[in-house]
Amino acid sequence: MSSAAYGFSEQTTAAITRARRHSIGDLLHRTAVRHPGKLAVVDGGHRWAFGEFDAAVNRCAAALAGQGLVKGDRLALLSHNCRQFVTLVFATARLGVVLVPINFMLGPEEITYILDHSGAKALVTEDALAPTADKALAQSSEPARVRGWIGLSGAAATGDWVDTAAWIDGEGDPGVPDVHVGDDDPLRLMYTSGTESRPKGVMLPSRSLVAQYLSCIVDGGMTHDDVELHSLPMYHCAQLDCFFSVDVYLGATSVILPGPDPATLLATIEREKVTKLFCPPTVWISLLRHPDFDTTDLSSLRKGYYGAAAMPVEVLQELSRRLPDVALWNFYGQTEMSPLATILLPQEQIERAGSAGRASLNVETRVVDDAGEEVPPGEIGEIVHRSPHAALGYYRDEEKTAEAFAGGWFHSGDLGVMTEEGYLSVVDRKKDMIKTGGENVASREVEESLYLLEGVAEVAVFGVGHPHWIEAVTAVVVPKEGMTLTEDQVHAHAREKLAGYKRPKYVVFAEALPKNPSGKILKRQLRTEHAGIAERDA
C-alpha cells in the first residue's frame, strides 16, 4: 500500500522508514550504545571495546566512501580472520556496499571469476595473499580500482595497494554518511560451490541475516555473556553469521584466530576463558587427539557447536565423557539459508546421533518428491525450506534462482528423511556435493579439471568416509586406450588446477565406470565399492 493511502506524505514515510531501520550496519552501533566499554574483539594483541570497534567501523566506512564507493558497489575481501576483516563486514554494511568474501584457498583463476562475475569495484587482500590477488587482477576483465592491503605480517603495501591501517586505525569518530539501507537490499554476495562447476553468488540482505541471528540465539542458547572463539574462516556464513555477527548483536565477546590450529585453540581457550566454541567434526576430533587436551584448563567451556557434517557417534560419546560440562548443538543449513535451517539440541545428541534436528525458530522444513509433494515420514526426498532466512536468489542467474525457489520453497539440493516428530536426517546430496573438512566441493568442478589432463578418458569424483576429513575427495580415473597414467601425474595436475581442499586425496584407476542403461555413472556404486579406501591406506 502506498504512503498516500495512509494519509502520509513521502517525506513523513521516509522518516518513518529511517526510524524503523534494522540493518546489519545498525547492529554494532546499537550494541556499542548499550555496552560501550565491554570487550568486543580480541585479535592477538589488539583488544577493542564495543565503543572502539564502532568508531573503527565508522572510520573505515568514511574512508571507503572517500574512495568513491557507494551503495550497491561490490567490495571483495580476501583474507584470513582478523580485526580488519570484521571491521569491513560492518563498514560496508553501513554504506550499503555489498561485501564479497572470497575463500582464501582459491587460486588466481577461481578468484578472477568471482571478481568479474560480481563486478567488484574494490578488492581488499591480506598481505600474504597479495601475490595471488595480483595474478587474479591481471586476468580480470575489469580490475578493481580500489585496492586495500591488510598488513598482517607487517609488510608495507606495494604497487597500487593502500594500507587499510589508514582507513581503520586512528583517532576520533568521523561518523558515516547516512545511507538508506533497506531490509531487502543485498549486503552480502557469498560465492558457494553449490553443485555446479562454477560458483554461484548468493545474495543476502539484512532481513534474512537478522532473522537467522534470532533463530541462532533462541535455539542455540546464545547470550550476551558468552566469550566465543572464532577460528573457522569467516568467508563462510557459518562462522561469520551463526556466531560472530550474533555475538556482536548480543554484546558478547569475540576472540579471533586466523585458523583452527588445535594447539592454539586449546591455549586460547585457557588464556581467554572461552565459554563457547564452534568447530566442524574434523576440528573437534583434532582437539581430542592433541597431546595438550588433557593438560589444558578447559573448565570455562560451556557451549559447543558443530556442523558441515554429521558427528560420528563415538566422537559424540567421547566429547560427552571428556568435556562433561559442555552442551553440544548440531547446526545444519547452507549459504542460501543465511545459513541455519535446523538444529539438534544438547539433550538430543546421543539419542538422535546423526540427525540434523528439527527446523529452527524461523524456519519451516519439509521433505518432498520431484513434483514438490511432501513425502511420508521415513521416505527419502529433497529437503526444502520456507523462511525469512532464505536468500534473495543467485546474482545474475534467473534460471538457477527460479529452479531453487520452485513452488515457493527453497530447494536445498540435499536428500533427507523426516521422522513423524519432525527430526531430519540428511542422507545424500542430490547433485553429489562432497563435504570435506567443513568445506563444500562440487564433484563436477573437480571432474572437469581432471578431464584437462591428457590421457584421461573418463573420471568420476565422489566422497568416501574418512576418520579425519569425514569425507575425502576420491577420483576414479579411466585412462585413454593405449595410454598410461600414474597417481603422481593426477596429483600434480590437481595441484596446478585446484585449491588444496578440492584435490583428490585418493586416486583409483579402472578400466571402466559403472553406468545405468541410459549411460549415467553410478556414483552410489562407486562409493560402496571404495568405502573402505581410507582404512586400506591407513
CATH number of domain containing 285: 3.40.50.12780
Average pLDDT over residues 420-431: 83
Residues 350 and 384 in one domain: yes
Is 393 found in the same domain as 328?
Answer: yes
Tens-place pLDDT, residues 258-291: 999 999 999 999 999 999 999 988 789 889 999 9
Residues 267 and 376 in one domain: yes
| Cα radius of gyration rounded to whole Å, the chain | 24
Q: Is residue 36 part of a domain?
A: yes
**Which is higher by pLDDT, 481 or 387?**
387
Instruction: State the Cα–Cα distance between residues 432 and 430, nearest whole angstrom.
Output: 6
CA distance 496 to 450: 11
**Of 104, 80, 86, 105, which is closest to residue 231 (Cα–Cα)?**
80
Examine the fold and report which residue of 181, 201, 232 is the final residue of a domain before the chain moves on. 181
How much is the pLDDT for 15? 92
538 pLDDT band, cuts 50/70/90, is: low
Question: Measured between alpha carbons, how far is residue 167 from residues 30, 63, 308 in Å?
Answer: 22, 5, 35
Q: Residues 415, 325: one domain?
A: yes
Q: Does residue 197 form part of some domain?
A: no
Whether residue 339 has a cis bond before it, omega within 30° of 0: yes
Question: Quick one: pLDDT at residue 518?
Answer: 43
- Report whether pLDDT(515) > 80: no
* Confidence label for 427 from pLDDT (cuts 50, 70 and 90): confident
- Express each pLDDT in 311-341 by its tens digit: 878 889 999 999 999 999 999 999 999 999 9
Distance of alpha carbon 113 from alpha carbon 106, whole angstroms = 11
What confidence tier does 2 reach under pLDDT thresholds 50, 70, 90? low
Average pLDDT over residues 377-400: 96
Q: Is residue 279 part of a domain?
A: yes
Rounded CA-CA distance 494/499 in Å is 8
Contact present, 40 and 50 (Cβ < 8 Å):
yes
Please indicate, yes or no, whether residues 152 and 218 belong to a single structural domain of this protein.
no
Supply the pLDDT for residue 9.
94
Mean pLDDT, rounded, for 179-189: 96
232 and 374 together in one domain: yes
Q: Which band of pLDDT confidence, cut at 50, 70 and 90, is reported for residue 387?
A: very high
**What pLDDT does residue 520 have?**
61
Three-state DSSP string of 423-488 = CEEEEEECCCEEEECCEEEEHHHHHHHHCCCCCEEEEEEEEEEECCCEEEEEEEEEECCCCCCCHH
Are 55 and 41 in a shared domain?
Answer: yes
Q: Which of 129, 161, 181 is the last residue of a domain?
A: 181
pLDDT of residue 437: 86
- pLDDT, average across residues 468-495: 93
pLDDT value, residue 194: 46
Quote the pLDDT of residue 517: 47
| SS3 of residue 184 by DSSP | coil
Q: What are phi and psi of 460, to 5 degrees?
A: -130, 130
- pLDDT tens column, 202-213: 999 999 999 999
Question: Strand ranges (DSSP E) for 221-275?
Answer: 227-230, 253-256
Of residues 442, 418, 446, 419, the one with CA closest to residue 430 = 442
Question: Which has the higher per-residue pLDDT, 43 or 443?
Answer: 43
Arithmetic mean of pLDDT, 149-163: 93
Q: Which residue has the cell 578472477?
A: 112
**CA 397, 398, 403, 408 torsion: positive or negative?**
positive
Q: Is the pLDDT of residue 516 over 60?
A: no
CATH classification of the domain holding 525: 3.30.300.30
Higher-scoring residue by pLDDT: 518, 54: 54
> In the predicted model, is pLDDT for residue 375 greater than 60?
yes
85 inside domain: yes
Tell me the pLDDT band of 430, cut-offs 50, 70 and 90: low
> Is the same domain home to 365 and 425?
yes
User: DSSP assignment of 34-102, as one string?
Assistant: H-TTSEEEEETTEEEEHHHHHHHHHHHHHHHHHTT--TT-EEEEE--S-HHHHHHHHHHHHHTPEEEE-
| The pLDDT value given to residue 354 | 85
Structural domain ending residue among the three candidates 391, 410, 429: 429
| CA distances to 209, 341, 482, 537 from 530, in Å | 40, 31, 25, 11
The answer to whether residue 6 scores a pLDDT higher than 90 is no
Domain count, the chain: 3
Distances from the Cα of 484 to the Cαs of 455, 476, 491, 533, in angstroms? 7, 14, 15, 22
Least confident interval from 31-40, 125-134, 469-478: 469-478
Q: Is residue 5 part of a domain?
A: no
Distance CA 494, CA 307 (A): 27
- Whether residues 404 and 438 share a domain: the answer is no
Q: How does pLDDT run across 27-37, given as a tens digit for each residue?
A: 999 999 999 99
Whether 245 has a pLDDT exceeding 60, the answer reads yes
Give mean pLDDT, residues 98-121.
Answer: 96
The pLDDT of residue 270: 98
Distance CA 94, CA 305 (A): 30
**Per-residue confidence band for 303, with pLDDT thresholds at 50, 70 and 90:** very high
What pLDDT was estimated at residue 312? 77
What the block records as the C-alpha cell of 506 is 585418493
pLDDT of residue 204: 98
439-460 per-position pLDDT tens digit: 878 777 788 789 889 999 888 8
Residue 489 belongs to some domain of the structure: yes
Query: Is 80 exceeded by the pLDDT of residue 472?
Result: yes
Q: 475 with 508: CB under 8 angstroms?
A: yes
Secondary structure class of 393 (helix, strand, coil): strand
Mean of per-residue pLDDT scores for the chain:
93
Which comes out higher in pLDDT, residue 377 or 6? 377
Residues 12 and 201: their CA atoms lie apart, in Å, by 36
The answer on 445 and 416 residing in a single domain is no
Q: Which residues contact 225 (CB under 8 A, 6 or more apart)?
A: 252, 275
Is 8 part of a structural domain of the chain? Answer: no
* Contact (Cβ atoms closer than 8 angstroms) between residue 199 and residue 107: no
**198, part of any domain:** no
The percent of residues in the chain predicted with pLDDT above 90, rounded, is 77
For residues 405 and 420, membership in a common domain is answered with: yes
Higher pLDDT among residues 298 and 170, named by residue = 298
Q: 72: closest CA among 116, 118, 27, 123? A: 118
Does residue 42 register a pLDDT over 60?
Answer: yes
Q: Which pLDDT band holds residue 196 (cuts at 50, 70, 90)? A: very low
Q: Hey, what's the cell of 281?
A: 567434526
Residue 127: is its pLDDT beyond 50? Answer: yes
pLDDT (tens digit per residue) in 490-507: 999 999 999 999 999 999
Are 320 and 280 contained in the same domain? Answer: yes
What is the domain extent for residue 155? 23-181
